[in-house]
Amino acid sequence: MSERKHGKTNVMTHDEMERVLKKCSSGRLGLAFQNEPYVVPVSYGYDQGRIFFHSAKQGKKVDFIKRNSRVCFEVDEWEKGWASVICYGTATLREDIEARREFFRVLRGQEPSDEQLGKMATYIGAIQIEEMTGKCSPDCSL
């Protein structure tokens, strides 16, 4: 078996990490409860230190967040070289119209009516980022 050697990696600046978070639209949400880890892919939007996602009102993701709001979130991109960002923070789940309005503004740049927003049967999740780390390959152009 041949040995694979890892190349040099670069530590990303805060601005570079934010560029990756703004550029990508899907990532992995890491959760844990009572010694059970759970990772789930989510579509998301990033704005001003927060990651926004949506969720059905029932399921493992919601159960875990309600029992342990400490989460991590990972996103990576492989366009020119590779880059990976991991965020740590606290997740909240809301179902009010203002949370839904902010979600659509961040993710889609839309402003649905209050009537449309009121019909949504989902939670809006928001992760307040407290810490983030990022690395990229030397050939990555951010």
Residue 72 above 60 pLDDT?
yes
Residue 73 above 90 pLDDT?
yes
Sequence-ordered list of residues with C-beta below 8 angstroms from that of 17, at least 6 positions apart, any chain: 85, 132, 133, 134
Higher pLDDT, 116 or 123: 123
Mean pLDDT of 57-72: 96
- Which pLDDT tens digit goes with each residue over 78-122? 988 899 999 999 999 998 888 888 887 887 777 777 777 777 788
- Which pLDDT tens digit goes with each residue over 19-44? 999 999 999 999 999 999 999 999 99
Residue 47 CA to residue 79 CA, distance in Å, equals 22
CATH number among 2.60.120.260, 2.30.110.10, 3.90.550.10, 3.40.1280.10, domain 10-135: 2.30.110.10
Give me 114's structure tokens.
């209050």
pLDDT at 100: 84
pLDDT at 7: 66
pLDDT at 2: 35
Residue 24 CA to residue 76 CA, distance in Å, equals 8
pTM: 0.87
